[in-house]
Structure 1
Amino acid sequence: MEYHSKVRAYRLKNGWSQEQLAALSALSVRTIQRVENGERASLETLSALAAVFQISVHDISDESIGTEDAMDSKILEAESRVKQEIHFYTALASYVLVCSILGLLNFIFTPHKLWVIWPIATWGLYLFIVWLRLFIFSQKLMQWQKMRVQKLLRK
């Protein structure tokens, strides 16, 4: 049951009109009407109504609000992760293509000098570090980040 239905049900259960509920909760009649018509209520409004009904805000609020926000954040995290992986694989494909061309040019024009090793090694080291960060350390970093935030919030 959504919170606007709960507010109406609690109001009728107590036998109050919208005007009486507004007076008891120190809210305007228009605010009560908006809440009962399904418009989104602020936390302060829900707190005032919960206090009048002598229940917790959790009992009156829409429980799916928190789970929807959590799902939205998980979806955004997953989309971000996929974009990072696509970026990595694109860079890897570019690395293979460019280094192959450079190797071919090195072999054709200056076979006695292996200058191609420097760009291959430098770019390869960079891609290896990105790979470690993306596929090995990302979960550990996120866990550490969450632990650190929780620790700071406890202070």
Structure 2
Amino acid sequence: MKALWQGTPLEAFFENRYAPTDKAKALMELNFNPRMLRDVSHRIIDRYDVIPRLMDIIWLTHQPDHPLWQLDSDTQELLTNYAGTKLLSEIQAIPDRAKREIIAGKIMLHYINTANPGLTSYELGTLFLLIEDPVISAYLRSLMERL
């Protein structure tokens, strides 16, 4: 994050030192400088390529009968009927790579959101290997680091 704000008053904000007055001043300066805020927002959008992903999400929400929504039901069914190594085996046995990747990601999100101890570190690592999309993998890793 610090690199994205380089050259702005918030650059020092992300250092690991406790300086509430300095941080508050930097936030105030940012709030009163819409051009700087816009420039940094563009850096984030360009670096993480969020607009196409947001468009995909918006498009999908307007398609309630799209087959991707079925994957929510498939994931829930797997979580209900299997656990641990058997759950992992069922996911690995899914022949469609894209479907396998999406369900692995959904299982990871479920694990993160519920702090479900039903998966060992080996099983979690194996699920990560099934997720080929680098953005999704990085996002899930960042969420796991917060646990």
TM superposition score normalised by structure 1: 0.22
Larger Cα-atom Rg: 1
In the superposition, the TM-score normalised over structure 2's length comes to 0.23
